[in-house]
Structure 1
């Protein structure tokens, strides 16, 4: 019996960061998809129902905070984990993200090892 691969949706508008994230997801054996426009993110999350969303805060169309709030207001998405990513890693940003329902917060640029550990923690796998 094979377990389904965890599904991860990368919501990131910067191609170089998205490519690095997608490479890591592939290497870790996760199913993954990407959306680069904040305005499209919520409908894509509803469509894919991923296990985890890697969510940038600064996006065109809608901010990561708005998307996170939208996910948390939808009871059918209650099990979706959200890891917020930002280049502005102040304590205020982090607190705001966690207050509106993010499960984790990582500051860019991040170490791949740090990201891998955070992803595994949120997916409930051993780090």
Structure 2
């Protein structure tokens, strides 16, 4: 770690540009989004319940279209807010989307494994 003025910098073992990092995180967003939708609906078909009340209402009211609309809304908010950040910090947007969806995939897989 080094100190550059007011910012502490951590050096990664591999050099990666902010653009490459953001691209990789957007790919993770896509994979985790699909994984979350698939594992959610598999769990629902096995008798599990959606724990997020907003998502539960959207799914029970509109089915798959409701879930996709919620995901699209989240991505839309991220894309609108992304230009407000300095270029070096724009990767926080896909990271903020991918992290909870990736965690949800693993939680869903665990819950599905308990009923199968």
TM-score range, shorter chain: under 0.3
In the superposition, the TM-score normalised over structure 1's length comes to 0.22
Which has the larger helix fraction?
Answer: 2
**TM-score, normalised by the number of residues in structure 2:** 0.24
Larger relative contact order (Cα-Cα within 8 Å, sequence gap ≥ 6): 2
Larger Rg: 2
